Amino acid sequence: MSQLINKTGFIEDDWQGEILPFDAFWNGQDLPEEEPFGVAIDVATDPFDLQPWFGRVDMIVIPFAGFADGRGFSLARKLRQLGYQGRIRAQGHLLVDQFRAAMRVGIDQLEISDDLAARMPEHQWKAVPLSDSYQSHLNAA
Amino acid sequence: MYSYSNFDAAFVRDRVKEFRGQVERRLDGSLTEDEFKPLRLMNGLYLQLHAYMLRVAIPYGTLNGAQMRQLAHIADKWDKGYGHLTTRQNIQFNWPKLKDVPDILDALADVSMHAIQTSGNCIRNVTADHFAGAAADEIEDPRPTAELIRQWSTDHPEFAYLPRKFKVAVTGAPNDRAVTKAHDIGLRMVRNKAGEPGYEVVIGGGLGRTPMIGKVVRDFLPRADLLAYLEAILQVYNLSGRRDNKYKARIKILVHETGLEELKARIEETFARNQTLLEPVDAGVVARINASFAPPEWDRRAVPDIPHLDAGFRSFLDTNIAAHKQSDYAIVTVSTKPIGGTPGDVTSEQMRVLADLAERYSHDELRISHEQNVILPHVHRADLAVIYGRLREAGLHTANIGLVSDIIACPGMDYCALATARSIPVAQKISEAFSDLQAQHDIGDLKIKISGCINACGHHHVGHIGILGLDRAGVENYQITLGGDGTETAAIGERTGPGFAYDEIVPAIERIVNAYLDIRESAEEAFLDTYRRVGAEPFKAVLYPESNKANAA
């Protein structure tokens, strides 16, 4: 099992719908017509290739195989830069200490293992200050 | 000098608080050692051979007297009364205790300093020409650019877990004193044909086990586009840089394996998108940064003639003074390399003397150079004699800048967990072998750089004479490279051949220097020029006389 986290703390998973692999767009699989559906991408996916479907995708799941692999931060930010407005879920090994960065690059929620959630309980996540950053200061209008 | 805004001040305090919490969470088991490691590294804390080491950031090498005095205080209170200046214009403390580190960070924050991003796989402390704002040859002060990059790169959410460390250097002068071509990104401030200011952007330089000279990826980048372009380079690197092998993870390998043209196309595509997406940098922020680097109010006094210089002062003036923008001013470089000393080590007492001299005689400014020396950038020529006197009392008067004993050396096996050989004792012995300063003046401009392992922290690849200490079956062995150059005419030194044992390396260096003295065309022909004229052969002949005889036989 796993634990979902967003800015408010530990949350229940309210996702209802399918999560398809990115290849589903190419291998002829029928895409759900009515229900929301999500796409699980690979760290090597170029967000640019997903752009044509942004309007139809309700959630993109980005894997974090290990906390030291920062590609997911760039993937999330690039998705936002390309105009994706749906939900972004980061899934895997992410630390409390990376929560601030995750929120800033446009990730909405994190899904971590129960083991990790036990080691890093909710109060630690809620204590992370999501105050403004150098980057927002530099671009302040 | 840049002074902290309320935001800067609050930011560094928040980071100290965060690190204090991380230390506690490591101790209570919330964080594993593996997870804690990058967090402490991003706060400058290494685990070395004998103890922790804390690397304090000195952004682009600039600090004031109060900051230097606080470093002296930290050295006395939490360390062993000295600090070590590094080749990235930072200062390291070699003996802090983990439990004291949050308090040290708070003491740094008291004087607008920190240790953020001095280590780890993130954008490191940005470096710049140590003569910035003072040098006579400068087109433009690089520090406003460096400060802008410092702010942009600090705690950047996208770029804190890169494939590997990432180093940026900026120069505003045609004479490159910032080794920009050996950086992941090197920026050279230039003007285009219309006279507009911008940057030449070089990527993929680096030393380490695969030394490479950086390549120009953009001839002219308009100034306003800087951050959008840097974001593009970093995003492409973060997504495409290799993560399977830490020795192949730097951007130089990506450039090498992907090819400059292909990589450039990807960077330009991302940049074009950034240009339409990223907000321009707030003009108020830029104006505030620029204003903080306005030149000081120059002191207009007569420069007195000093009729009878003593010999020591005369050679100090010969070597340790560089031309200032203002003709009645001078740039004074203070050598941290007395004969037989440890390059870059400064005692707390010396730090206080330097702080005092800066406050009284250098418009309250000091610089740390990547050559591990300290600079008083704005000294009125009328004050040179009194400064020399104070430096002599403090043992800081060695007149050897740019000479054979002005050696860069990494900490080596005396401190470093990665080292495979000693560096500091080799530097000390070379310096003792050439202890006669007059002889050093005769030898002239000669940069010796020593690394105690293949990671090349001592920049040996760009030393006119480079020394690399390795471990050969448990025995130290020193390889020599010749002809390296870290300036605008950058070159990687070439290996001469088999290495030398610990007790053979200093005589080998002496043979090289003597050969140079024999074959130079005149005293004006510097070592590097001679090497470029005659090549490696005459030096190999004196380094390996036996193999020469064997070949002749």
CATH topology of domain A2-138: TIM Barrel (3.20.20)
Q: What pLDDT score was predicted for residue A100?
A: 96
Report how far Cα A37 is from the mean position of its chain's Cα atoms: 15
Q: Residues A39-64: what's their mean pLDDT?
A: 94
Question: Do strands B82-85 and B62-63 pair parallel, antiparallel, or not at all (unpaired)?
Answer: unpaired
CATH topology match: B6-110 vs B311-393: no
Q: Which residues contact B300 (CB under 8 A, 6 or more apart)?
A: B328
Please provide the CATH number assigned to the domain covering B417-552.
Answer: 3.30.413.10
- In angstroms, the separation between the Cα of residue A121 and the nearest Cα of chain B is 9
Report helix, strand or coil for B191.
strand
- Interchain CB contact of B76 with A (< 8 Å): no
What whole-number distance in Å separates Cα of residue B148 and Cα of residue B227?
9
**CATH (residue range B142-289):** 3.30.413.10
Q: Looking at the complex, does the CB of residue B121 fall below 8 Å from at least one CB of chain A?
A: yes
Paired sense of beta strands B448-451 and B408-409, if any: parallel
In chain B, where the domains are located: 6-110, 142-289, 311-393, 417-552
pLDDT of res. A26: 76
Cβ–Cβ gap B239/A68 under 8 Å? no
Nearest CB partner across the interface for A104, out of B18, B157, B281: B157
In whole angstroms, what is the distance from residue B281 CA to residue B226 CA? Answer: 10
Q: Judging by DSSP bridges, how do beta strands B465-472 and B448-451 pair with one another?
A: parallel
Which residues from B are below 8 Å from A101, CB to CB? 155, 157-158, 160
Residue B154 touches partner A, C-beta closer than 8 Å: yes
Q: Which two tokens stand for residue B88?
A: 């990235």
pTM, two decimal places: 0.95
Nearest CA distance, B235 vs chain A (angstrom): 6
Contact assignment for A131 to B274 by CB distance below 8 Å: no
pLDDT at A30: 75
Q: Do B160 and A101 touch (CB under 8 A)?
A: yes
B155 vs A73, A119, A133: nearest CB: A133
| pLDDT tens-place string over residues B83-115 | 999 988 999 999 999 889 999 999 999 999 999
Task: Please indicate whether, in this complex, the C-beta atoms of B162 and A70 are within 8 angstroms of each other.
Answer: yes
**Which stretches in chain B have pLDDT values below 70?**
307, 548-553
Residue A61 token pair: 């799941």
Q: Sort out which chain A residues have CB atoms less than 8 A from B30's CB and list them.
A: 96, 119-120, 124
Could you report the per-residue pLDDT of B226-251, keeping only the tens digit for each? 999 999 999 999 999 999 999 999 99
Contact B179, B486 (CB under 8 A): yes
Q: Do B158 and A102 touch (CB under 8 A)?
A: no
Residues of B in contact with A131 (CB under 8 A): 14
- State the nearest Cα–Cα gap between A32 and chain B, in angstroms: 30
Q: Taking CB atoms and an 8 Å cutoff, what residues of chain A touch B282?
A: 137-141
CATH number for the domain whose boundaries are B6-110: 3.90.480.20
Taking CB atoms and an 8 Å limit, are B22 and A97 in contact across chains? yes
Residue in B29, B31, B158 nearest the CB of A105: B158
Query: How does DSSP classify residue B468?
Result: E
pLDDT digits (tens, 9 = 90+) for A75-121: 999 999 999 999 999 999 999 999 999 999 999 999 999 999 999 99
Nearest-CA distance from B159 to chain A in Å? 7
Tell whether domain B311-393 is in CATH 3.30.70.3340: yes
Quick check: B157 and A102 CB within 8 A? yes
What are the residue ranges spanned by the domains of chain A?
A: 2-138
